[in-house]
């Protein structure tokens, strides 16, 4: 199959192409993840976290991918995703190299981006890439599959398009927080803020179809409502949702509040300034409205929508969410390199 034909396939049809012998190989888009996979990755992440608590366990993890090399190719700045992946690789004993800046690359000599990445792939066993152009990671996965020496590719963010491991870490945070409350199934989750332009809330909403009886609350200013395509998708997959502009009224009803900042970097002409976003801030007094076992999430970075006073509350899990991102990436890389079994048998 050539690239043009492949590109036109639906996500679900592409899925097989990102597998190898029944195991995940390339991680390109959130649509690749089904319920079985999500449960497996979450459980593996938890197991890894436990193993890492002892020195002996830490050494065991380090030995798993000793001698394997990862390349972090980050053309767009993203220190937190970068560091999270780098730490994940290091936990498994991989050696890392990095390109964080295009100006150091030989693209100046007229090379195509495909040749550049193929060259990088020659030196390593895994490519983790962030690239502004939507679909680029997918094209590289396709190209490498057709080369003599493929290596797995993980998409660490491609413009506003996909950021599949961010979605994984949100799922893992929900999974872990509701471990003793029957899991994610049946939970009520409020997504708050700039739902129109936030990539993370969109991905998370998509993945909710994998869980039974979840209800979503979209709480946003009218100008920043969740897009129709996604609502259509949820209806099709029978995920219940409702829209609201009243955060204080929604909070007491839900098990999780997912806060987001206004994404004014996507403003066309400063329209964010005309929106009263303060109505979608989590005020300190809202803590009293929140159920005792509910959680507060945020993908970070945050601004005023989530005051630092809230950090001390037991239900604020966003700092743990950051760590979860690292653990779930460890689990994902372990899965790609098929060492999950060794981890379970440890």
Contact residues for its own copies, defined by CB under 8 A: 55, 58-59, 61-62, 66-67, 69, 71, 77-80, 82-84, 86-87, 90-91, 95, 97, 99-100, 103-106, 108-111, 114-116, 118-120, 122-124, 147-149, 261, 265, 300-303, 308, 311, 319-320, 322-323, 326
Q: Which of 141, 230 has the CB closer to its own copies?
A: 141
Q: How far apart are CA 145 and CA 11, in angstroms?
A: 17
Least distance between its own copies and beta carbon 185 (Å):
28
Q: Which of 33, 337 has the CB closer to its own copies?
A: 337
Least distance between its own copies and beta carbon 181 (Å):
21
Q: How far apart are CA 179 and CA 94, in angstroms?
A: 30
53: left (phi over 0), alpha (psi -120 to 50) or beta: alpha
3-state helix, strand, coil in the chain (%, to 5): 50, 15, 35
175 is catalytic: no
Least distance between its own copies and beta carbon 16 (Å):
23
Three-state SS for 190? strand
109 is catalytic: yes
Q: How far apart are CA 185 and CA 210, in angstroms?
A: 9
Question: Of the residues 59, 80, 273, 338, which is catalytic?
Answer: 80
Nearest 5 degrees, angle CA 301-CA 191-CA 302? 15
Question: Of the residues 49, 130, 139, 261, which is catalytic?
Answer: 130
- 152 alpha-carbon distance from chain centroid: 18
Least distance between its own copies and beta carbon 272 (Å):
12
Q: Which of 47, 69 has the CB closer to its own copies?
A: 69
Residues in the chain: 346
Q: Which of 188, 320 has the CB closer to its own copies?
A: 320
Least distance between its own copies and beta carbon 23 (Å):
18
Decide if 141 contacts 162 (C-beta within 8 A): no
N-terminal to C-terminal alpha carbon distance within the chain:
41
Least distance between its own copies and beta carbon 10 (Å):
27
Task: Give the other-Cβ count within 10 Å of 6's Cβ.
Answer: 16
Q: How far apart are CA 32 and CA 222, in angstroms?
A: 32
Q: Which of 222, 301 has the CB closer to its own copies?
A: 301
Decide if 25 contacts 153 (C-beta within 8 A): no
Three-state SS for 296? strand
298 is catalytic: no
* φ, ψ (nearest 5 deg) of residue 239: -100, 120
Please report the sign of the dihedral spanned by the C-alpha atoms of residue 132, residue 134, residue 139, residue 144: positive
Q: Which of 32, 84 has the CB closer to its own copies?
A: 84
Least distance between its own copies and beta carbon 190 (Å):
22
Task: Give the other-Cβ count within 10 Å of 236's Cβ.
Answer: 9
130 is catalytic: yes
Q: Which of 71, 216 has the CB closer to its own copies?
A: 71
Residues catalogued as catalytic: 80-81, 109, 130, 163
């Amino acid at each position: 199959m050539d690239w043009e034909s492949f590109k036109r396939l639906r996500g679900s049809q592409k899925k097989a192409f990102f597998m190898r012998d029944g195991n995940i190989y390339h991680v390109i888009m959130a649509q690749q993840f089904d319920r079985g996979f999500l449960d497996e990755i979450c459980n593996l992440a938890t197991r890894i976290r436990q193993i890492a608590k002892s020195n002996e366990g830490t050494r065991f993890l380090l030995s798993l991918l000793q001698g394997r090399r990862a390349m972090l190719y980050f053309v767009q700045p993203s220190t937190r995703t970068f560091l999270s992946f780098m730490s994940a690789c290091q936990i498994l004993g991989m050696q890392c190299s990095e390109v964080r800046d295009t100006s150091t690359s030989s693209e100046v000599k007229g090379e195509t981006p495909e040749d550049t990445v193929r060259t990088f792939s020659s030196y390593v066993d895994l490519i983790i890439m962030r690239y502004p152009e939507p679909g680029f990671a997918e094209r590289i996965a396709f190209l490498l599959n057709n080369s003599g020496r493929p290596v797995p590719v993980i998409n660490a963010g491609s413009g506003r398009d996909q950021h599949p491991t961010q979605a994984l870490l949100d799922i893992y945070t929900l999974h872990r927080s509701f471990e003793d409350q029957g899991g994610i199934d049946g939970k009520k989750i409020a997504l708050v803020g700039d739902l129109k332009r936030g990539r993370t809330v969109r991905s998370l909403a998509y993945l909710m179809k994998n869980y039974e009886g979840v209800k979503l609350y979209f709480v946003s200013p009218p100008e920043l409502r969740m897009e129709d395509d996604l609502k259509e998708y949820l209806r099709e997959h029978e995920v219940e949702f409702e829209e609201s502009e009243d955060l204080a009224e929604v909070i007491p009803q839900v098990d999780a509040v997912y806060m987001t900042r206004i994404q004014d970097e996507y403003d066309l002409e400063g329209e964010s300034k005309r929106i009263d976003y303060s109505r979608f801030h989590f005020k300190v007094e809202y803590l009293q409205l929140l159920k005792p076992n509910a959680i507060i999430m945020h993908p970070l970075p945050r601004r005023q929508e989530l005051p630092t006073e809230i950090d001390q509350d037991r239900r604020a899990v966003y700092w743990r969410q950051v760590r979860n991102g690292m653990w779930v990436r460890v689990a994902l890389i372990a899965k790609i390199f098929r060492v999950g079994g060794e981890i379970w048998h440890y």
